[in-house]
Structure 1
Amino acid sequence: MKALIRLYLNSYKGLSPAAWLLALVMLINRAGSMVIPFLGIYMSSELNFSKPQIGIVLGCFGLGSVCGSWLGGLLTDKFGSFKVQAFSLAMVIPLFLILPQFRTFEGLATMIFTLSVVADIFRPANSVSVARYAKPENITKAYSLNRMAVNLGFSIGPALGGFLAKFSYDWIFYGNAIAAASALIVFILFFRNRKARTEVNQINISAEEDKDKPVRNAYADGKFIVFNILCCLFSMAFFQLLSTLPLFYKEIHGLHADQIGLLLGFSGFVIVLFEMVLVHVVEHRFSVRQIMLWGTAIAAFSYLMLTVDFGIAWLFLAMFFLSTGEMLTLPFTATVAIGRASRSNQGAYMGFNSLAFAAANIFSPYLGTYTAEHYGYTTLWTITAILMGLCSIGFYWIITKMDREPS
């Protein structure tokens, strides 16, 4: 038991105070992550949208996410990560507050697109902040800590959202606004005058390191483009978690909103408990390509589990495997992206990587809902598992190519 406690404590060793503060901001912000997991159910039960309409609205969320990720990377390199993050947090507050007033298909689609653009400007700026406040040897740990905060918030958000939905879906939107306002206050309070690690005493060292590193164009870097295509395909499969999976729980298993919230929140709970330890154990024992190979394969297996029905416990077990695959895949995509960048274009690289994940949200909801509607959920989960399996092989191949490339 002592050895286990020591391992757990060591997994957090070396993280800077700024990394913890960034994680705190992310935790508060994501504790309000109530809208997206319940958006499909909201449109189905409250607004009586058809499945194709639900898919299109969720696709608008993805399209806005792509635009926001690209714009966020551009703005971060130009204005700095602090201003971009503060702007994003401030602007989403009024958008969440007025969103319940838009109840037509066209109006809601437009608002979801706008909200997604503004919200996802935050992502590349936040990723750059994590890299700049972390020590080089602890970058993956810092990203894992940030993701742990995201998932702790995500475990709280859906559970709270499911509770609020029993009274009114409007309160889900208001809860998101309150969380964004709280995150904005904490972020400005802690980071207004705080300098990044590379700005305190590492300026000369960073400049020397950057001089020897090739300055690539993120959008013309062939190997990175292939890597991002694989990230996009992986995300199209993985993000069924936020679109068709809640509908599957409701329609096939007859779960209520609060039960769905607890099941989705369980994913965040697992990640909060195990991600930092898991990353600490594997990152120095295995290569990034090996970790991502197995992580993606485990996620594929979790979706394959959904093709058979062994009750509610089986759904929790499948979610556990999906969470494990996520822990072994997503933190390392950011590590690969930041490793390809020079200091002058970190925003562009992180923005392009965020864009790859965001692009999946354009196609993933519509393709998922269309497949479920016309061919059934079993076919959807089988296709999802096969796509993830192919991505696992692709990640191993392209990262091997990157590693062999002279730097």
Structure 2
Amino acid sequence: MIKTASKRYINNFKGFSREIWILAIVTLINRAGTMVLPFLSKYLKEDLHFSLGEVGWIMVSFGCGSMLGSWLGGKLADKVGFYKIMIFSLFTSGLMFFGLQYITSFWGLCFGMFAIMTVADMFRPAMFVSVGAYATPETRTRAMTLIRLAVNLGFGLGPAVGGLIIMAIGYKGLFWVDGATCITAIVIFWIMVKEKTKSPYIDKKHPDEILTHSVLHDKPFWIFLFTCFATAMIFFQLFTTLPLYHHDQFGLTEFQTGLFMTTNGVMIFFLEMPLVSVFERKNVHKVKIILAGSILMAVAFFVLMLDFWIGSLIISLLLLTVGEMFAFPFSNAFAIGRAPKGHEGRYMALYTMSFSLAHITSSKIGMEIIDRFGYRANWLFMGILGIIAALAALYLYNFLHREPKKT
């Protein structure tokens, strides 16, 4: 029985091109190397002795750089090709991480973080375009899921290794390792993957192409972006307000909160790819799955209003994780599939920017609501936002059926 289950799980990973596997390995190395990020606030406050307000402004600079980098990366991927942008982004940001450790002034770090994230996040939309180029239409959603698994696994490994490096040689070691992994990852990619400027799969023979010639005039895509922003904003509560709630409401330790985070990662690792494969075999419309994911995320936060029962944390986490597995892989695939030929970078830029914006606003809005009105008010707000996202997805689904060509 275990052998059969293992075989079925492994079968979900078949059919990918060599380039997709290399891209997943490169992504894993790169994400595992971004171990500066989880410790950045702690480094700024404890090592450089900035106030919480100053740390907040440096993190805002970080987020603004991420937004600009996502936009530039997508636009330049269409102009000069994703391959060149990926190599430039990781190699240059690797060198910049080496230099960042020597900047210790407030304004220097504001400009430094803005600059490094502008360069570093040019990689993300270009990487998504590369998946569209190296994967067939039949494997594109699963390929996006494979990259997500690599990202999640990398983020899981990074903080643990980062903690050991801090204990051994201090925070400065993180910058050296982060820079080195960026450069190592992209050198592997450059040696093993040859440039492909255009995908043979994105053409007029396939129904994934739509009639619009500019993303600015693609109304359904903007509705989709709002759904992405809203679901990402409520999901990011898992890493911002929920750890505080665990301690304040139920007295959980950092270790116990860490177990919740680990549960989320383990569920994604073992269940996301099989779920995606099932939905693909049944040919379920991507927007329907995103809609279901939005509803599950909303319910996850309504459950948290049962703040007298610790079991609500477990039920909420399960619902939130399943909602994530429904919404995010298929939103990746919808975005790249929606893009007309030659506009893939612009579409993926806006897609990644919606997540960057959600990352910036999620913590700030959540903290403000909690500070003024308490945790229950925040859970209610996030739940209602999830329902609004689901209604937007439902409107999008109906809108798509009125188009001459459907995505």
> Which runs of structure 2 are paired with 1:246-257 in the superposition (5 Å)?
246=243, 248=245, 253=251, 255-256=253-254
1:206 to 2:203 alignment = yes
- State the shift of 1:73 in Å: 0.8
Where does residue 382 of structure 2 map in the other structure? 384
Alpha-carbon spacing, 1:59–1:247, altered in 2? closer, same or farther (3 Å)? farther
Deviates more, 1:281-290 or 1:216-225: 281-290
Where does residue 355 of structure 1 map in the other structure? 353
Gap regions ≥5 residues in structure 1: none
> Which runs of structure 2 are paired with 1:64-75 in the superposition (5 Å)?
64-75=65-76
Where does residue 229 of structure 2 map in the other structure? 232
Where does residue 371 of structure 1 map in the other structure? 369
Deviates more, 1:219-228 or 1:317-326: 317-326
Q: SS of 1:214's equivalent?
A: coil
Where does residue 293 of structure 2 map in the other structure? 295
Q: SS of 1:328's equivalent?
A: helix
Alpha-carbon spacing, 1:282–1:210, altered in 2? closer, same or farther (3 Å)? closer
Aligned length: 400
Gap regions ≥5 residues in structure 2: none
2: CA distance between counterparts of 1:49 and 1:317?
A: 38
- State the shift of 1:251 in Å: 6.5
Kept after mapping to 2: 8 A contact 1:151/1:268: yes
How far does the alpha carbon of each residue in 1:217-246 deviate from its partner, in whole angstroms, 9 at most, with x for none?
Answer: 012211211211222222222223444445
- State the shift of 1:213 in Å: 4.6
Alpha-carbon spacing, 1:6–1:51, altered in 2? closer, same or farther (3 Å)? same
- What is the RMSD computed on CA atoms of the aligned residues? 3.1
Where does residue 179 of structure 1 map in the other structure? 181
Kept after mapping to 2: 8 A contact 1:63/1:361: no
- State the shift of 1:324 in Å: 2.1
Identity within the alignment, %? 36
- State the shift of 1:314 in Å: 6.8
How far does the alpha carbon of each residue in 1:243-284 deviate from its partner, in whole angstroms, 9 at most, with x for none?
Answer: 44455567764644x776665454333322221111111233
Deviates more, 1:347-356 or 1:210-219: 210-219
Point out which structure has higher relative CO (alpha carbons under 8 A, 6+ apart): 1
> Which runs of structure 2 are paired with 1:112-127 in the superposition (5 Å)?
112-127=113-128
- State the shift of 1:365 in Å: 3.0
Deviates more, 1:244-253 or 1:11-20: 244-253
Alpha-carbon spacing, 1:336–1:164, altered in 2? closer, same or farther (3 Å)? same
Kept after mapping to 1: 8 A contact 2:81/2:197: no
Alpha-carbon spacing, 1:173–1:384, altered in 2? closer, same or farther (3 Å)? farther
Kept after mapping to 1: 8 A contact 2:231/2:297: no
Kept after mapping to 2: 8 A contact 1:85/1:125: yes
1: CA distance between counterparts of 2:387 and 2:149?
A: 25
> Which runs of structure 2 are paired with 1:5-404 in the superposition (5 Å)?
5-46=6-47, 52-166=53-167, 168-191=170-193, 193=194, 195=196, 198=199, 202=200, 206=203, 209=206, 213-246=210-243, 248=245, 253=251, 255-256=253-254, 263-285=260-282, 286-307=284-305, 308=307, 318-404=316-402
Q: SS of 2:64's equivalent?
A: helix
- State the shift of 1:183 in Å: 0.9
Alpha-carbon spacing, 1:36–1:396, altered in 2? closer, same or farther (3 Å)? farther
Kept after mapping to 1: 8 A contact 2:15/2:139: yes
Alpha-carbon spacing, 1:122–1:211, altered in 2? closer, same or farther (3 Å)? closer
Alpha-carbon spacing, 1:395–1:182, altered in 2? closer, same or farther (3 Å)? same
- State the shift of 1:320 in Å: 4.2
Alpha-carbon spacing, 1:263–1:44, altered in 2? closer, same or farther (3 Å)? farther
Alpha-carbon spacing, 1:260–1:148, altered in 2? closer, same or farther (3 Å)? same
How far does the alpha carbon of each residue in 1:28-68 deviate from its partner, in whole angstroms, 9 at most, with x for none?
Answer: 11112323333344445555555554444333222212111
2: CA distance between counterparts of 1:196 and 1:310?
A: 55
